[in-house]
Amino acid sequence: MKGIPSFGKIKQRRETSLVFLILLLLLVVTLRSPGFVSIKNLQRIINDTSILVMVSLGQFFVILAGGIDLSVGSIIGFSGMAASMLNEAQPTLPAFVVLLVGVLIGTAFGALNGALVAFGKVPPIITTLGTMSIFRGITFVLSKGQWVTAHEMTEAYMLLPHGNFLGISNLIWWGVLVSTVLYYVSRFTRSGREVFAIGGNKTAAKFVGVSERKITMMIFTISGMVSGLAGVMWTARYAAAVNETATGFELQTVAACVIGGVSIAGGSGAVSGVILGALFMGIINNALPVINLSPFLQLFIQGAIVLFAMLINTLSEVRRGKKLLQERLA
């Protein structure tokens, strides 16, 4: 019996209910618009959601340790702009070098966040609120307010997300790669498990020798790194680098985590939940026009979903506590 999860346990898991919820959502939308659940359309939705999946997984590590990263949108904006401008200025430079530069910029920005939190002892929410503005600000300084548009980008650059392999777009493969690596980190590396420890009980983590500084540096660096990658993907995919790229995107990443059952207090959550949470957001975003809801409602609906998911998280905790108590009294 031991080690094999019973059906009851599977039923209790957030991932299971999310899968059902997503299926239900697909069903409802299909009733309104039969073409919605075609292989092609689903592929399109997953493609659209890949960037959200990556960045949400970075956010996941930060939230898991009890922090939050509000600067992901601005990091995407800056690294995307910097990579696009490099591509424009040096069209002969191979695309993967440009990609690497974008990733490195994101990594450096993430490390800066990490250093401010780990060594400067500035709370994560304040640190990243500050850097959110700073990174966005220097994006404008760098671009002098100008855009980089499709005809200024090289073919190779735009193929980074747009190419395909085995009939599946590169962007999806990038999402799969990031998911696999971060799943492995969270499950099978010591540092990954130590993130759970820091978020679950800081004092206890210290007692077993977990270095809070190291973990803090690591999570913000990971978040910055995937945001840097996402920046390159974003600009190449939409064939435009604008100064407002990914503004407000941090909300969506937090939403994906909360919907995926990640505790905002830290210490619990899983990569699988976050991926499903991001897909759920992606389907909602794609379904709105299909069911004739104004895209202007998108922000409103996103916010409402976050609050609703949060309510469910808290209520289920309360109910679990009551149930435990009643079992004790019974």
Partner 1 sequence: MPTRASGLLLFQGTRPAARRGLRVPIHKEPALSQPLLEVKHLTKYFPGIKALDGVHLTIRSGEVHALIGENGAGKSTLVKILTGVYFPTQGEVLYEGSPLVLRNAIDAQKAGIAAIHQEASMFPELSVTENIYMGHHLTHPKTGRIDWRKMRTETQKLLDELELDIDSNTLVKNLGVAQRHMVEIAKALSLHAKVVIMDEPTSALSLREVEDLYKIVRRLRADGKAIIFISHKFDEIFEICDYYTVLRDGKYIGEGKVSEASIDSIVRMMVGRSLDQMYPKRNINSGRTILSVKGLSQLGYFSNVSFDLHEGEILGFFGLVGAGRSEVMRTIFGIDRKTAGTISLDGKEIQIRCPSDAMAHGMAFVPEDRQEQGVILEMSIAKNITLPQINPISRFGILNRKKEKSITETYGSKMEIRAAGWQVDADTLSGGNQQKVVLAKWLATNPRILILDEPTKGIDVATKAAVHQFISDMASKGLAVILISSELPEVLGMADRIMVMHEGFLQAEFSREEADSDKVIRAATGNASGGGVA
State the minimum distance, in angstroms, from the CB of residue 114 to partner 1.
21
Q: Which residues on neighbouring strands pair with residue 164, listed in sequence order?
A: 169
Rounded Cα–Cα distance for residues 222 and 62 (Å): 9
Helix, strand or coil for residue 246?
coil
State the minimum distance, in angstroms, from the CB of residue 196 to partner 1.
6
Question: Tokens 């490195």 sit at which residue?
Answer: 104
Query: Which residue among 146, 263, 302, 316 contacts partner 1 (CB under 8 A)?
Result: 263
**252: part of which helix (H) or strand (E)?**
helix 249-259
Query: Which residue among 11, 32, 213, 322 contacts partner 1 (CB under 8 A)?
Result: 322
Query: Which residue among 16, 17, 247, 268 contacts partner 1 (CB under 8 A)?
Result: 268
Chain-centre distance for alpha carbon 273 = 12
How would you label 99-114 residue by residue, b for 16+ Cβ within 10 Å and e otherwise?
bebbbebbbebbbbbb
End-to-end CA distance of the chain: give it in Å, rounded: 26
Q: Does 7 bind partner 1 (CB under 8 A)?
A: no
Query: Which residue among 267, 273, 277, 282 contacts partner 1 (CB under 8 A)?
Result: 267
Alpha-helical regions (H) of 65-143: 72-89, 95-118, 124-143
Q: Does 190 bind partner 1 (CB under 8 A)?
A: yes
Query: Which residue among 20, 187, 311, 314 contacts partner 1 (CB under 8 A)?
Result: 187
Interface residues for partner 1 in 195-214 (CB under 8 A)? Answer: 196-197, 200-201, 203-210
Interface residues for partner 1 in 156-185 (CB under 8 A)? Answer: 184
Q: List contacts with partner 1 (CB under 8 A).
A: 2-3, 184, 187-190, 193-194, 196-197, 200-201, 203-210, 263, 267-268, 322, 324-326, 328-329
